[in-house]
Amino acid sequence: MDGVHDVGGMDGFGPVDTAETGDTFHEEWEGVTYAAFVAGLGSGTFGIDAFRHSIERLPPADYLTASYYDRWVRAIARLFVERGVLDSTALRQRTAAFAAGEATVPERDDPELLGELAAGVVEAYDSDGDGGEPRFAEGDRVAVRNHNPAGHTRCPGYVRRAEGVVRTCRGHHTLPDAAAHGEERTEPLYNVRFDPEELWGERADRATAVSVDLWESYLSPAQR
The answer, yes or no, to whether residue 139 has pLDDT greater than 70, is: yes
Does residue 136 fall inside a structural domain?
A: no
Closest to 199 measured CA to CA, from 14, 10, 17, 2:
10
Instruction: Determine the Cα–Cα distance for residues 28 and 32; give it in Å rounded to an integer.
Output: 7
Contacts of 8 (CB under 8 A, 6+ apart): 156, 157, 158
Q: Are 121 and 34 in the same domain?
A: yes
Angle of helix 28-42 versus helix 68-82 axis, rounded to 10: 40
100-111 pLDDT per residue, tens: 888 877 777 777
Instruction: Check which CATH number belongs to the domain holding 63 and give it.
Output: 1.10.472.20
Q: Are 75 and 120 in the same domain?
A: yes
Does residue 161 fall inside a structural domain?
A: yes
Q: Are 148 and 118 in the same domain?
A: no
Does residue 7 fall inside a structural domain?
A: no
Model confidence at 63, pLDDT cuts 50, 70, 90, reads very high
The answer, yes or no, to whether residue 146 has pLDDT greater than 80, is: yes
Q: Is 219 in a helix, a strand, or coil?
A: strand
Instruction: Check which CATH number belongs to the domain holding 175 and give it.
Output: 2.30.30.50
Give me the domain span that covers residue 82: 28-125
For the chain, the distance separating the N- and C-terminal CA atoms, rounded to the nearest angstrom, is 29
200-216 pLDDT per residue, tens: 887 777 778 899 999 99
Mean pLDDT, rounded, for 163-173? 96
Which of 64, 92, 125 lies at the terminal end of a domain, its last residue? Answer: 125
Q: How many CB atoms lie within 10 A of CB 49?
A: 22
pLDDT at 118 (0 to 100): 81
Q: Contact, 185 vs 178, CB < 8 A? A: yes
Q: Are 145 and 74 in the same domain?
A: no
pTM for this entry: 0.84
Number of domains in the chain: 2
> For residue 89, how far is the Cα from the chain centroid?
28
